[in-house]
Amino acid sequence: MNQLRKPDEFDVDDLRRKVSEVREREQQADAASELNPFARQIAEQFRAISRSPTILIGQFRVFEFGCLLIISLVMETLISGEAPGDFLSRLALLATGTALIVLLLQLVDTYQIPSLRAARRTAKRVLTAWTIGFVLTVASLYLLAATSYPPVGLAIWFLIGAGFLFAERQLTALAIRHWARNGVMERRAVIVGGGEPAKYLVRQLEQQPDNDIRICGIFDDRGSDRSPTVVAGYPKLGTFAELVEFSRLARIDMLIIALPASAEQRILQLLRKLWVLPVDIRLAAHTNQLRFRPRSYSHVGEVPMFDIFDKPIRDWDSVAKRIFDIAFTLIALVLLWPIMLAAAIAVKATSKGPILFRQKRHGFNNEVIEVLKFRSMFTHMSDQTAVKAVTKGDPRVTSVGRFLRKSSIDELPQLFNVLRGQLSLVGPRPHAISAQTGTRKYVDVVESYFARHRVKPGVTGWAQINGLRGELDSDDKIRARTAYDLDYIENWSLLFDLKILFLTPIRLLNTDNAY
Protein backbone atom coordinates (compact mmCIF):
# COMPACT_ATOMS: atom_id res chain seq x y z
CA MET A 1 0.00 0.00 0.00
CA ASN A 2 1.44 3.38 -1.04
CA GLN A 3 2.01 5.90 1.68
CA LEU A 4 1.43 9.64 1.30
CA ARG A 5 4.65 11.60 0.87
CA LYS A 6 5.42 14.60 3.01
CA PRO A 7 5.79 17.96 1.24
CA ASP A 8 9.56 17.94 1.54
CA GLU A 9 9.71 14.51 -0.13
CA PHE A 10 8.18 15.70 -3.45
CA ASP A 11 10.33 15.17 -6.49
CA VAL A 12 11.36 18.63 -7.76
CA ASP A 13 11.51 17.42 -11.37
CA ASP A 14 8.03 15.97 -11.04
CA LEU A 15 6.73 19.29 -9.66
CA ARG A 16 8.33 21.21 -12.52
CA ARG A 17 6.78 18.82 -15.01
CA LYS A 18 3.31 19.37 -13.52
CA VAL A 19 3.74 23.13 -13.56
CA SER A 20 4.83 22.92 -17.20
CA GLU A 21 1.74 20.86 -18.04
CA VAL A 22 -0.52 23.42 -16.37
CA ARG A 23 1.12 26.24 -18.30
CA GLU A 24 0.77 24.29 -21.53
CA ARG A 25 -2.95 23.74 -20.88
CA GLU A 26 -3.38 27.47 -20.18
CA GLN A 27 -1.60 28.33 -23.42
CA GLN A 28 -3.79 25.87 -25.32
CA ALA A 29 -6.89 27.48 -23.77
CA ASP A 30 -5.67 30.93 -24.80
CA ALA A 31 -4.98 29.67 -28.31
CA ALA A 32 -8.43 28.13 -28.46
CA SER A 33 -10.02 31.49 -27.68
CA GLU A 34 -8.26 33.11 -30.64
CA LEU A 35 -10.49 33.37 -33.66
CA ASN A 36 -9.85 30.80 -36.38
CA PRO A 37 -9.02 32.16 -39.87
CA PHE A 38 -12.38 31.22 -41.39
CA ALA A 39 -14.37 32.94 -38.64
CA ARG A 40 -12.10 35.99 -38.83
CA GLN A 41 -12.70 36.21 -42.60
CA ILE A 42 -16.47 36.11 -42.01
CA ALA A 43 -16.22 38.74 -39.25
CA GLU A 44 -14.31 41.13 -41.52
CA GLN A 45 -17.27 41.10 -43.92
CA PHE A 46 -19.40 42.69 -41.20
CA ARG A 47 -16.98 45.40 -40.08
CA ALA A 48 -19.15 48.16 -41.55
CA ILE A 49 -21.53 49.63 -38.98
CA SER A 50 -25.18 48.85 -39.64
CA ARG A 51 -27.99 51.36 -39.12
CA SER A 52 -30.42 50.76 -36.28
CA PRO A 53 -34.01 50.29 -37.58
CA THR A 54 -35.26 52.22 -34.53
CA ILE A 55 -33.05 55.19 -35.38
CA LEU A 56 -34.05 55.09 -39.05
CA ILE A 57 -37.75 55.08 -38.18
CA GLY A 58 -37.24 58.01 -35.82
CA GLN A 59 -35.38 59.96 -38.49
CA PHE A 60 -38.15 59.13 -40.95
CA ARG A 61 -40.78 60.55 -38.55
CA VAL A 62 -38.81 63.79 -38.18
CA PHE A 63 -38.34 64.02 -41.97
CA GLU A 64 -42.05 63.43 -42.62
CA PHE A 65 -43.06 65.98 -39.97
CA GLY A 66 -40.74 68.61 -41.48
CA CYS A 67 -41.92 68.04 -45.05
CA LEU A 68 -45.62 68.07 -44.13
CA LEU A 69 -45.15 71.24 -42.09
CA ILE A 70 -43.42 72.98 -45.01
CA ILE A 71 -46.16 71.89 -47.43
CA SER A 72 -48.86 73.11 -45.04
CA LEU A 73 -47.07 76.39 -44.38
CA VAL A 74 -46.54 77.15 -48.07
CA MET A 75 -50.08 76.18 -49.11
CA GLU A 76 -51.72 78.02 -46.19
CA THR A 77 -49.73 81.15 -47.00
CA LEU A 78 -50.64 80.99 -50.70
CA ILE A 79 -54.39 80.53 -50.18
CA SER A 80 -54.76 82.66 -47.05
CA GLY A 81 -55.92 86.22 -47.26
CA GLU A 82 -54.85 87.08 -43.69
CA ALA A 83 -52.43 89.84 -42.74
CA PRO A 84 -48.78 88.88 -42.02
CA GLY A 85 -49.25 89.84 -38.37
CA ASP A 86 -51.20 86.62 -37.74
CA PHE A 87 -48.41 84.43 -39.13
CA LEU A 88 -46.99 83.19 -35.81
CA SER A 89 -50.34 82.03 -34.44
CA ARG A 90 -51.14 80.22 -37.70
CA LEU A 91 -47.65 78.65 -37.70
CA ALA A 92 -48.25 77.30 -34.19
CA LEU A 93 -51.57 75.79 -35.26
CA LEU A 94 -50.02 74.26 -38.39
CA ALA A 95 -47.16 72.73 -36.36
CA THR A 96 -49.67 71.29 -33.89
CA GLY A 97 -51.79 69.91 -36.74
CA THR A 98 -48.75 68.33 -38.41
CA ALA A 99 -47.71 66.73 -35.12
CA LEU A 100 -51.25 65.34 -34.86
CA ILE A 101 -50.98 63.84 -38.35
CA VAL A 102 -47.68 62.14 -37.42
CA LEU A 103 -49.31 60.84 -34.23
CA LEU A 104 -52.25 59.44 -36.23
CA LEU A 105 -49.83 57.75 -38.63
CA GLN A 106 -48.15 56.20 -35.59
CA LEU A 107 -51.48 55.01 -34.15
CA VAL A 108 -52.37 53.17 -37.37
CA ASP A 109 -48.97 51.39 -37.34
CA THR A 110 -47.48 52.97 -40.45
CA TYR A 111 -44.14 53.67 -38.73
CA GLN A 112 -43.12 50.01 -38.56
CA ILE A 113 -40.52 48.46 -40.84
CA PRO A 114 -43.02 45.94 -42.36
CA SER A 115 -45.48 48.81 -43.02
CA LEU A 116 -42.83 51.01 -44.61
CA ARG A 117 -41.58 48.11 -46.70
CA ALA A 118 -45.11 47.37 -48.00
CA ALA A 119 -46.20 50.93 -48.79
CA ARG A 120 -49.00 49.93 -51.19
CA ARG A 121 -50.72 47.74 -48.59
CA THR A 122 -50.74 50.57 -46.02
CA ALA A 123 -51.75 53.34 -48.44
CA LYS A 124 -55.38 53.30 -47.24
CA ARG A 125 -54.33 53.73 -43.58
CA VAL A 126 -51.95 56.55 -44.50
CA LEU A 127 -54.67 58.34 -46.49
CA THR A 128 -57.15 57.96 -43.62
CA ALA A 129 -54.70 59.42 -41.08
CA TRP A 130 -53.86 62.31 -43.43
CA THR A 131 -57.54 63.06 -44.07
CA ILE A 132 -58.47 63.16 -40.38
CA GLY A 133 -55.42 65.22 -39.48
CA PHE A 134 -55.99 67.65 -42.37
CA VAL A 135 -59.65 68.22 -41.48
CA LEU A 136 -58.80 68.85 -37.80
CA THR A 137 -55.98 71.23 -38.76
CA VAL A 138 -58.18 73.30 -41.09
CA ALA A 139 -61.01 73.30 -38.52
CA SER A 140 -58.66 74.65 -35.83
CA LEU A 141 -57.55 77.42 -38.20
CA TYR A 142 -61.19 78.36 -38.83
CA LEU A 143 -62.13 78.34 -35.14
CA LEU A 144 -59.00 79.64 -33.41
CA ALA A 145 -57.41 81.88 -36.04
CA ALA A 146 -60.70 82.96 -37.68
CA THR A 147 -59.19 82.17 -41.07
CA SER A 148 -61.24 81.21 -44.15
CA TYR A 149 -59.95 79.47 -47.28
CA PRO A 150 -61.38 78.96 -50.78
CA PRO A 151 -62.54 75.35 -51.41
CA VAL A 152 -60.31 75.00 -54.47
CA GLY A 153 -57.25 75.98 -52.44
CA LEU A 154 -58.10 73.47 -49.71
CA ALA A 155 -58.55 70.72 -52.32
CA ILE A 156 -55.14 71.48 -53.86
CA TRP A 157 -53.54 71.55 -50.38
CA PHE A 158 -55.12 68.19 -49.53
CA LEU A 159 -54.07 66.55 -52.81
CA ILE A 160 -50.48 67.82 -52.60
CA GLY A 161 -50.11 66.45 -49.05
CA ALA A 162 -51.66 63.10 -49.95
CA GLY A 163 -49.55 62.86 -53.12
CA PHE A 164 -46.38 63.62 -51.15
CA LEU A 165 -47.13 60.90 -48.58
CA PHE A 166 -47.87 58.34 -51.30
CA ALA A 167 -44.79 59.09 -53.42
CA GLU A 168 -42.43 59.49 -50.46
CA ARG A 169 -43.48 56.20 -48.91
CA GLN A 170 -43.09 54.35 -52.21
CA LEU A 171 -39.51 55.62 -52.46
CA THR A 172 -38.90 54.74 -48.81
CA ALA A 173 -40.09 51.17 -49.44
CA LEU A 174 -37.58 50.83 -52.29
CA ALA A 175 -34.82 52.26 -50.09
CA ILE A 176 -35.60 49.88 -47.20
CA ARG A 177 -35.52 46.85 -49.50
CA HIS A 178 -32.20 48.07 -50.93
CA TRP A 179 -30.74 48.65 -47.45
CA ALA A 180 -31.91 45.21 -46.32
CA ARG A 181 -30.21 43.53 -49.30
CA ASN A 182 -26.96 45.42 -48.69
CA GLY A 183 -26.90 44.93 -44.93
CA VAL A 184 -27.26 48.62 -44.08
CA MET A 185 -30.37 48.11 -41.99
CA GLU A 186 -30.28 44.84 -40.12
CA ARG A 187 -29.75 43.28 -36.74
CA ARG A 188 -26.79 40.93 -36.87
CA ALA A 189 -27.30 37.77 -34.89
CA VAL A 190 -25.31 34.68 -33.94
CA ILE A 191 -26.90 31.38 -32.95
CA VAL A 192 -25.23 30.02 -29.81
CA GLY A 193 -25.58 26.23 -29.83
CA GLY A 194 -25.98 23.86 -32.75
CA GLY A 195 -27.73 20.67 -33.73
CA GLU A 196 -31.47 20.25 -34.22
CA PRO A 197 -32.54 23.10 -31.86
CA ALA A 198 -30.45 25.57 -33.87
CA LYS A 199 -31.74 24.17 -37.17
CA TYR A 200 -35.36 24.53 -36.05
CA LEU A 201 -34.72 28.07 -34.79
CA VAL A 202 -33.12 29.14 -38.10
CA ARG A 203 -36.06 27.73 -40.06
CA GLN A 204 -38.51 29.60 -37.81
CA LEU A 205 -36.62 32.89 -38.23
CA GLU A 206 -36.42 32.48 -42.00
CA GLN A 207 -40.19 32.04 -42.22
CA GLN A 208 -40.82 35.45 -40.68
CA PRO A 209 -41.89 38.00 -43.33
CA ASP A 210 -40.01 41.29 -43.29
CA ASN A 211 -37.42 39.88 -40.89
CA ASP A 212 -34.54 42.26 -40.11
CA ILE A 213 -32.41 39.55 -38.46
CA ARG A 214 -29.28 38.52 -40.34
CA ILE A 215 -27.75 35.31 -39.05
CA CYS A 216 -23.96 35.59 -39.27
CA GLY A 217 -23.10 32.07 -38.14
CA ILE A 218 -23.33 29.43 -35.45
CA PHE A 219 -21.01 28.71 -32.53
CA ASP A 220 -20.99 25.46 -30.58
CA ASP A 221 -18.47 23.57 -28.43
CA ARG A 222 -19.63 20.12 -29.48
CA GLY A 223 -17.96 18.04 -32.18
CA SER A 224 -19.33 17.43 -35.66
CA ASP A 225 -20.96 14.15 -34.57
CA ARG A 226 -23.41 16.02 -32.29
CA SER A 227 -23.31 19.45 -33.92
CA PRO A 228 -22.88 19.44 -37.74
CA THR A 229 -20.48 21.91 -39.34
CA VAL A 230 -23.36 23.36 -41.39
CA VAL A 231 -26.78 23.91 -39.83
CA ALA A 232 -29.66 24.95 -42.09
CA GLY A 233 -27.19 26.41 -44.55
CA TYR A 234 -25.18 28.38 -41.96
CA PRO A 235 -21.61 27.36 -41.05
CA LYS A 236 -20.45 26.55 -37.56
CA LEU A 237 -17.73 29.18 -37.15
CA GLY A 238 -16.12 28.06 -33.92
CA THR A 239 -16.44 27.35 -30.23
CA PHE A 240 -17.98 29.39 -27.43
CA ALA A 241 -14.50 30.58 -26.46
CA GLU A 242 -14.11 32.20 -29.89
CA LEU A 243 -17.54 33.80 -29.85
CA VAL A 244 -16.59 36.88 -27.79
CA GLU A 245 -13.89 38.02 -30.21
CA PHE A 246 -16.08 37.27 -33.24
CA SER A 247 -18.94 39.31 -31.79
CA ARG A 248 -16.66 42.29 -31.24
CA LEU A 249 -15.11 42.13 -34.70
CA ALA A 250 -18.41 41.61 -36.54
CA ARG A 251 -20.32 44.18 -34.44
CA ILE A 252 -22.98 41.64 -33.56
CA ASP A 253 -26.28 43.04 -32.24
CA MET A 254 -27.88 39.89 -30.81
CA LEU A 255 -26.84 36.51 -29.47
CA ILE A 256 -29.61 33.90 -29.56
CA ILE A 257 -28.96 30.91 -27.32
CA ALA A 258 -30.51 27.81 -28.91
CA LEU A 259 -30.38 25.62 -25.81
CA PRO A 260 -33.30 24.28 -23.77
CA ALA A 261 -34.10 26.28 -20.63
CA SER A 262 -33.54 23.06 -18.67
CA ALA A 263 -29.79 23.21 -19.52
CA GLU A 264 -29.41 25.73 -16.73
CA GLN A 265 -25.78 25.04 -15.82
CA ARG A 266 -24.59 25.24 -19.41
CA ILE A 267 -26.52 28.48 -20.01
CA LEU A 268 -25.06 30.05 -16.87
CA GLN A 269 -21.53 29.15 -18.00
CA LEU A 270 -22.25 30.77 -21.34
CA LEU A 271 -23.64 33.93 -19.80
CA ARG A 272 -20.53 34.37 -17.64
CA LYS A 273 -18.55 34.64 -20.88
CA LEU A 274 -21.02 36.56 -23.00
CA TRP A 275 -22.49 39.27 -20.74
CA VAL A 276 -19.34 41.42 -21.15
CA LEU A 277 -20.47 42.13 -24.74
CA PRO A 278 -22.60 45.19 -25.66
CA VAL A 279 -25.30 43.06 -27.30
CA ASP A 280 -28.82 41.77 -26.71
CA ILE A 281 -28.72 38.23 -25.35
CA ARG A 282 -31.85 36.15 -25.91
CA LEU A 283 -32.78 32.60 -25.01
CA ALA A 284 -34.93 31.04 -27.74
CA ALA A 285 -38.20 29.84 -26.20
CA HIS A 286 -39.77 28.28 -29.32
CA THR A 287 -39.03 24.69 -28.22
CA ASN A 288 -39.55 25.22 -24.50
CA GLN A 289 -42.39 23.14 -23.05
CA LEU A 290 -42.97 25.63 -20.24
CA ARG A 291 -45.37 28.49 -20.92
CA PHE A 292 -45.15 31.88 -19.23
CA ARG A 293 -47.17 35.07 -19.37
CA PRO A 294 -46.94 36.91 -22.72
CA ARG A 295 -45.03 39.75 -21.03
CA SER A 296 -42.23 37.31 -20.23
CA TYR A 297 -41.34 37.09 -23.91
CA SER A 298 -40.05 39.36 -26.60
CA HIS A 299 -40.50 38.33 -30.22
CA VAL A 300 -38.56 38.26 -33.45
CA GLY A 301 -41.50 38.12 -35.81
CA GLU A 302 -43.54 35.41 -34.12
CA VAL A 303 -40.58 33.54 -32.59
CA PRO A 304 -40.69 33.95 -28.77
CA MET A 305 -37.51 34.82 -26.87
CA PHE A 306 -36.60 35.23 -23.22
CA ASP A 307 -34.77 38.53 -22.67
CA ILE A 308 -31.59 37.72 -20.70
CA PHE A 309 -29.55 40.92 -21.25
CA ASP A 310 -30.20 44.11 -23.22
CA LYS A 311 -27.58 46.24 -24.85
CA PRO A 312 -27.11 49.32 -22.64
CA ILE A 313 -27.56 52.91 -23.89
CA ARG A 314 -29.00 51.95 -27.26
CA ASP A 315 -30.85 53.63 -30.15
CA TRP A 316 -32.27 57.05 -29.17
CA ASP A 317 -30.61 56.87 -25.75
CA SER A 318 -27.25 56.79 -27.52
CA VAL A 319 -28.29 59.75 -29.70
CA ALA A 320 -29.37 61.73 -26.62
CA LYS A 321 -26.10 60.92 -24.85
CA ARG A 322 -24.08 61.97 -27.90
CA ILE A 323 -25.93 65.31 -28.10
CA PHE A 324 -25.34 65.75 -24.36
CA ASP A 325 -21.61 65.05 -24.83
CA ILE A 326 -21.14 67.47 -27.72
CA ALA A 327 -23.13 70.28 -26.09
CA PHE A 328 -21.37 70.15 -22.71
CA THR A 329 -17.95 69.55 -24.28
CA LEU A 330 -18.26 72.70 -26.39
CA ILE A 331 -19.34 74.65 -23.31
CA ALA A 332 -16.36 73.25 -21.37
CA LEU A 333 -13.91 74.20 -24.14
CA VAL A 334 -15.26 77.77 -24.23
CA LEU A 335 -14.87 78.10 -20.45
CA LEU A 336 -11.61 76.20 -19.98
CA TRP A 337 -9.48 77.20 -22.98
CA PRO A 338 -7.39 79.74 -20.94
CA ILE A 339 -6.53 77.00 -18.41
CA MET A 340 -5.66 74.56 -21.21
CA LEU A 341 -3.47 77.17 -22.94
CA ALA A 342 -1.64 77.96 -19.67
CA ALA A 343 -1.11 74.24 -19.00
CA ALA A 344 0.30 73.70 -22.51
CA ILE A 345 2.75 76.60 -22.09
CA ALA A 346 3.82 75.37 -18.63
CA VAL A 347 4.46 71.82 -19.89
CA LYS A 348 6.51 73.05 -22.84
CA ALA A 349 8.49 75.59 -20.82
CA THR A 350 9.50 73.32 -17.94
CA SER A 351 10.58 70.07 -19.63
CA LYS A 352 11.65 68.79 -23.02
CA GLY A 353 9.26 66.84 -25.17
CA PRO A 354 5.78 67.08 -26.66
CA ILE A 355 2.95 68.90 -24.87
CA LEU A 356 0.51 66.02 -25.25
CA PHE A 357 0.93 62.45 -24.08
CA ARG A 358 -0.85 59.76 -26.13
CA GLN A 359 -1.71 56.43 -24.57
CA LYS A 360 -3.44 53.31 -25.89
CA ARG A 361 -6.47 52.44 -23.79
CA HIS A 362 -9.49 50.19 -23.97
CA GLY A 363 -12.57 51.89 -25.42
CA PHE A 364 -16.09 50.78 -26.25
CA ASN A 365 -16.40 47.06 -27.02
CA ASN A 366 -12.74 46.57 -26.03
CA GLU A 367 -11.53 48.50 -29.08
CA VAL A 368 -8.17 50.20 -28.60
CA ILE A 369 -8.29 54.01 -28.67
CA GLU A 370 -5.60 56.67 -28.27
CA VAL A 371 -6.37 58.95 -25.32
CA LEU A 372 -4.87 62.46 -25.05
CA LYS A 373 -3.42 64.02 -21.88
CA PHE A 374 -1.10 66.87 -21.04
CA ARG A 375 2.32 65.29 -20.54
CA SER A 376 3.05 65.07 -16.82
CA MET A 377 6.23 62.95 -16.89
CA PHE A 378 9.74 63.48 -18.16
CA THR A 379 9.74 62.30 -21.77
CA HIS A 380 12.48 59.69 -21.31
CA MET A 381 10.62 58.23 -18.31
CA SER A 382 7.12 58.18 -19.83
CA ASP A 383 5.33 54.85 -19.57
CA GLN A 384 3.08 54.12 -22.53
CA THR A 385 2.00 50.77 -21.10
CA ALA A 386 1.13 51.98 -17.57
CA VAL A 387 2.42 48.68 -16.20
CA LYS A 388 3.97 50.63 -13.34
CA ALA A 389 1.37 52.96 -11.84
CA VAL A 390 2.34 56.45 -10.72
CA THR A 391 2.88 56.53 -6.95
CA LYS A 392 3.24 59.28 -4.36
CA GLY A 393 6.49 61.22 -4.92
CA ASP A 394 7.16 59.35 -8.19
CA PRO A 395 10.43 60.72 -9.66
CA ARG A 396 9.11 60.27 -13.20
CA VAL A 397 6.58 63.09 -12.69
CA THR A 398 7.65 66.69 -13.37
CA SER A 399 6.91 69.49 -10.90
CA VAL A 400 4.31 70.94 -13.28
CA GLY A 401 2.99 67.46 -14.00
CA ARG A 402 2.41 66.85 -10.29
CA PHE A 403 0.12 69.88 -10.11
CA LEU A 404 -1.64 68.94 -13.34
CA ARG A 405 -2.33 65.42 -12.06
CA LYS A 406 -3.58 66.54 -8.64
CA SER A 407 -5.95 69.05 -10.22
CA SER A 408 -6.88 66.68 -13.10
CA ILE A 409 -6.03 69.45 -15.57
CA ASP A 410 -3.89 66.85 -17.39
CA GLU A 411 -7.15 65.13 -18.42
CA LEU A 412 -8.64 68.16 -20.22
CA PRO A 413 -7.33 67.25 -23.72
CA GLN A 414 -9.65 64.26 -23.53
CA LEU A 415 -12.44 66.69 -24.40
CA PHE A 416 -11.16 66.37 -27.97
CA ASN A 417 -11.51 62.57 -27.67
CA VAL A 418 -15.15 63.23 -26.77
CA LEU A 419 -15.70 65.36 -29.88
CA ARG A 420 -14.13 62.61 -31.99
CA GLY A 421 -16.60 60.10 -30.51
CA GLN A 422 -13.99 57.92 -28.79
CA LEU A 423 -15.00 58.94 -25.27
CA SER A 424 -18.12 60.17 -23.54
CA LEU A 425 -18.07 62.93 -20.95
CA VAL A 426 -19.37 60.48 -18.35
CA GLY A 427 -18.68 56.77 -18.24
CA PRO A 428 -16.26 54.17 -16.88
CA ARG A 429 -12.75 55.63 -16.93
CA PRO A 430 -10.61 54.07 -19.68
CA HIS A 431 -7.60 52.12 -18.46
CA ALA A 432 -4.36 51.52 -20.33
CA ILE A 433 -4.42 48.17 -22.12
CA SER A 434 -1.56 46.81 -19.97
CA ALA A 435 -2.61 48.40 -16.68
CA GLN A 436 -2.33 46.14 -13.67
CA THR A 437 -2.43 46.02 -9.91
CA GLY A 438 0.68 44.45 -8.46
CA THR A 439 1.70 41.80 -10.97
CA ARG A 440 -1.78 40.99 -12.29
CA LYS A 441 -3.83 42.65 -14.99
CA TYR A 442 -7.21 43.99 -13.95
CA VAL A 443 -9.11 41.31 -15.88
CA ASP A 444 -7.28 38.64 -13.86
CA VAL A 445 -8.49 40.27 -10.64
CA VAL A 446 -12.11 40.91 -11.62
CA GLU A 447 -13.86 38.38 -13.83
CA SER A 448 -16.47 40.93 -14.96
CA TYR A 449 -13.87 43.62 -15.72
CA PHE A 450 -14.50 43.76 -19.48
CA ALA A 451 -18.23 44.32 -18.89
CA ARG A 452 -17.19 47.97 -18.21
CA HIS A 453 -16.59 48.29 -21.95
CA ARG A 454 -20.23 47.74 -22.95
CA VAL A 455 -20.50 51.55 -23.11
CA LYS A 456 -18.09 54.28 -24.14
CA PRO A 457 -15.55 55.17 -21.46
CA GLY A 458 -15.76 58.63 -19.95
CA VAL A 459 -13.63 61.61 -18.94
CA THR A 460 -15.23 61.33 -15.50
CA GLY A 461 -17.32 58.60 -13.92
CA TRP A 462 -19.40 57.31 -11.04
CA ALA A 463 -16.42 55.54 -9.45
CA GLN A 464 -14.38 58.76 -9.40
CA ILE A 465 -17.27 60.65 -7.79
CA ASN A 466 -17.25 58.02 -5.03
CA GLY A 467 -13.59 58.53 -4.18
CA LEU A 468 -12.00 55.87 -6.43
CA ARG A 469 -9.66 58.25 -8.20
CA GLY A 470 -6.00 57.78 -9.02
CA GLU A 471 -3.79 54.77 -8.30
CA LEU A 472 -5.34 51.30 -8.19
CA ASP A 473 -2.76 49.62 -5.96
CA SER A 474 -4.88 46.79 -4.56
CA ASP A 475 -7.33 44.15 -5.70
CA ASP A 476 -10.07 45.70 -3.58
CA LYS A 477 -9.79 49.05 -5.36
CA ILE A 478 -10.17 47.63 -8.85
CA ARG A 479 -13.08 45.46 -7.67
CA ALA A 480 -14.77 48.50 -6.13
CA ARG A 481 -14.20 50.64 -9.24
CA THR A 482 -15.59 47.92 -11.48
CA ALA A 483 -18.64 47.56 -9.22
CA TYR A 484 -19.36 51.31 -9.44
CA ASP A 485 -18.86 51.26 -13.23
CA LEU A 486 -21.32 48.38 -13.65
CA ASP A 487 -23.79 50.15 -11.38
CA TYR A 488 -23.53 53.22 -13.61
CA ILE A 489 -24.20 51.16 -16.75
CA GLU A 490 -27.25 49.45 -15.25
CA ASN A 491 -28.78 52.71 -13.96
CA TRP A 492 -27.77 55.15 -16.69
CA SER A 493 -29.87 58.20 -17.49
CA LEU A 494 -29.13 61.72 -18.71
CA LEU A 495 -29.98 63.03 -15.23
CA PHE A 496 -27.44 60.59 -13.78
CA ASP A 497 -24.82 61.93 -16.23
CA LEU A 498 -25.72 65.49 -15.28
CA LYS A 499 -25.36 64.68 -11.57
CA ILE A 500 -21.90 63.14 -12.07
CA LEU A 501 -20.80 66.02 -14.29
CA PHE A 502 -21.71 68.69 -11.75
CA LEU A 503 -20.28 66.74 -8.80
CA THR A 504 -16.94 66.25 -10.55
CA PRO A 505 -15.41 69.70 -9.77
CA ILE A 506 -16.41 69.31 -6.10
CA ARG A 507 -14.87 65.85 -5.81
CA LEU A 508 -11.65 67.10 -7.44
CA LEU A 509 -10.98 69.06 -4.25
CA ASN A 510 -10.08 65.72 -2.65
CA THR A 511 -6.55 65.03 -3.95
CA ASP A 512 -5.58 62.24 -1.51
CA ASN A 513 -5.18 59.56 -4.20
CA ALA A 514 -4.02 61.80 -7.06
CA TYR A 515 -0.27 61.58 -7.54
Are 307 and 279 in contact by the 8 Å Cβ rule? The answer is no
Mind listing the pLDDT tens digit for each residue in 20-53? Answer: 444 444 444 444 467 888 888 888 877 666 677 7
Confidence of residue 489 (pLDDT cuts 50, 70, 90): very high
What's the CATH number of domain 186-309, 3.40.50.300, 3.40.50.720, 3.40.50.1010, 3.30.200.20? 3.40.50.720
Domain ranges across the chain: 53-181, 186-309, 315-507
Q: Which of 237, 312, 199 is nearest to 44 (CA)?
A: 237
227-232: Cβ within 8 A, 24+ apart: 227/193, 227/194, 227/195, 227/198, 228/194, 228/195, 231/191, 231/194, 231/195, 231/198, 231/199, 231/202, 232/198, 232/199, 232/202, 232/203, 232/206
**279-300 confidence digits (pLDDT tens):** 888 888 755 555 555 555 677 7
Q: How many CA atoms lie within 13 A of 27 on its CB side?
A: 6
| Angle in degrees, 0-180, between the axes of helices 53-79 and 151-181, rounded to the nearest 10 | 160
257 near 227, Cβ under 8 Å?
Answer: no
Q: Compute, in degrees rounded to 10, the torsion defined by CA atoms 426, 189, 283, 457.
A: -10
Q: What is the pLDDT of residues 85-112, one digit of tens each?
A: 577 788 888 999 999 999 999 998 888 8
Tens digits of per-residue pLDDT, 199-210?
888 888 888 766
As a whole number, mean pLDDT of residues 339-349 equals: 92
Question: What pLDDT is attached to residue 7?
Answer: 35
Q: Is CATH 3.40.50 the right assignment for the domain spanning 53-181?
A: no
- Predicted TM-score (pTM) of this structure: 0.75
Q: Specify which residues 371 forms β-bridges with.
A: 359
Span 405-444, pLDDT tens digits = 888 888 999 999 999 999 999 999 988 887 777 677 777 7
